[in-house]
Amino acid sequence: MNLYAVKAIYLFEMARTWRTLFQSIVSPVISTSLYFVVFGAAIGSRISEIGGISYGSFIVPGLIMLSILMNSVSNASFSIYFPKFTGTVYELMSAPISSFEIILGYVGAAATKSIILGLIILATAGLFVPLQIAHPFWMLLFLVLTAVSFSLLGFIIGIWADNFEKLQIVPLLIVTPLVFLGGSFYSIDMLPPIWQKITLFNPALYLISGFRWSFYEINDVGVGLSLAMVLLFLGLCVATVWWIFKTGYRVKS
């Protein structure tokens, strides 16, 4: 195992985060905080409690998930797409490093950034709305699994994309709508029955539901099912990345 290479990639990527601190950390924290101010403090005070939880507190897990999903995908996709775009990927391909080690470095760094971001947003939310975390271990588990899974998805998108537009399509046109419609701002009990059924096909629902359960012990679907879905998604991403490196898809000619 080329641990020096894994460490080099990881530190290189993390250094990029500190260099672009405002864009990487400050900006998503501020934009998520605006949700807390608007939906938590302002509009939220006029919305009735959901499952015995104030609306401002209710939306915190969903907003953290939104931020983690978006940032995991964009960080990981950019980190591998940019070397392809500039041509520096030649170095990665000619280095004595396995596919697994490449993924460990890039996905590890992208997931770390997302987890740090999620924890900062959580701390920031505490300034605006009352918070409780009933199951800290499960909260961290969902946080880590989601960050890793979606960083893998981002890595796949970064490999697949051959222009900046494609890089943006999946986060903006797929991930964001799924999170918004996956129960970030409401419980699916509040939807008409037909939409409740349709929402069950939305993978983000399971992530948000499980994550919210770890905070307030309220959930739209069973926790076991949420965990199974996260693990299934993780497995699909791992299999896709394995296939990419096995075939050299969009990496090697």
Contacts to another protein by CB under 8 A: 2, 4-5, 7-9, 11-12, 15-16, 19, 86-88, 90-98, 248, 252-253
Of 241, 245, 176, nearest in space to 204 by CA: 176
Rounded to a whole number of angstroms, the distance between the first and last alpha carbons of the chain is: 25
Shortest separation between residue 95's beta carbon and another protein, angstroms: 5
Distance CA 134, CA 82 (A): 40
- Residue with smaller CB distance to another protein, 20 or 31: 20
Positions of E strands within the chain = none
Shortest separation between residue 90's beta carbon and another protein, angstroms: 5
Residue type (1 letter), 76 = A
Shortest separation between residue 246's beta carbon and another protein, angstroms: 12
- Residue with smaller CB distance to another protein, 4 or 195: 4
- Residue with smaller CB distance to another protein, 91 or 165: 91
Distance CA 125, CA 144 (A): 19
Burial of 163 (0-12, 13-18, 19+ CB in 10 A): exposed
- Cβ atoms 67, 179 nearer than 8 A: no
- Residue with smaller CB distance to another protein, 164 or 195: 164
Shortest separation between residue 4's beta carbon and another protein, angstroms: 5
Shortest separation between residue 192's beta carbon and another protein, angstroms: 50
Distance CA 98, CA 69 (A): 26
- Residue with smaller CB distance to another protein, 31 or 99: 99
